[in-house]
Structure 1
């Protein structure tokens, strides 16, 4: 099995520990992971802003870079959704093969590897925010929760209004800042009400928005990507 990591722009630039966690986790599960150095942006910012012509070269680059791998694993629901849902709209014929082989991390763990207990240890109370792309476009369903429920030492707490958007939405947060901030405040309040030590999700872009709001409110609640929780063990705790 040849697996490539598509780390994404946000993770590469701001949250490199998430990419490292994915490699640690997959290698612990016996998967050999490659990191093609030629990878770049999936094109989601351009596509969502209406620059579809400028998106096409990035779509082709992704297809070229990840050609030949059995699977491409993505620690981002939004970027995985961009590939799976929007690439066929840009180039249906040229991207069919790579689209079929692209998996968000929890999909790959549960559906391809067939595991929910990955040997993780995280002795904290955690609440889970299902991000919009993972929830509505990829249909991740219970996969992330099943993985969290199997983590030793972790207490999963229910989040009120979990299915509601956190307010980030990429360019939405820029174009509609006041609405975005209000939605973020609502999400942060519900997270605080759980009393959890940390909030996790499958998208660092959403966690950046949520984490910033929580920080400004002085809550002390950490935002952490699901991959980092799953990579944590008793021998090497996060």
Structure 2
């Protein structure tokens, strides 16, 4: 079975369905396209893997510990036989998002693209860790809408600017304070704190191992690790 989509980009407010869920096509410039359904369902993939696909969206200031926690959490789950993947903010800018800068508009598009990629991985049954500052609440909420409740797990890696600056081995905060890096989150650009994060990891005093344990515990308690 497939669903047809033949909509012009000027027809705002229209919605279509994929992966069994509605999504907005108001900004789509693609016309005369068809969504093709496969014969292997998401449930089939998840049953084979023994896990429920999801995206753990790690958000926080530069230096808060997002990437470090993502790497450690992936290793912990991999050692338990789980299929995982990391989408890292720096890494995707080497390829997929190499044409984007750090203006508010480019940050929004950066997060939208990763939201769509995360949705594909999640539909494949993979447990995804994303490590992005993603400073704007509206952008994170857009990804939540793209993916749907239960597939999107917002994990706020909470750390003060002072804590992050003290860990800054790259010297980014010093450069930002010197005016060498414009629109640097926490210094010359805002960070909008989450107001509905499923998990809060306070890395001002919490260790990496404790943060990983909190994430794994959340997955266990909420049925993402099914066997």
Q: TM-score, normalised by structure 2?
A: 0.34
Greater Rg over alpha carbons, structure? 2
Q: Which has the higher helix share?
A: 1
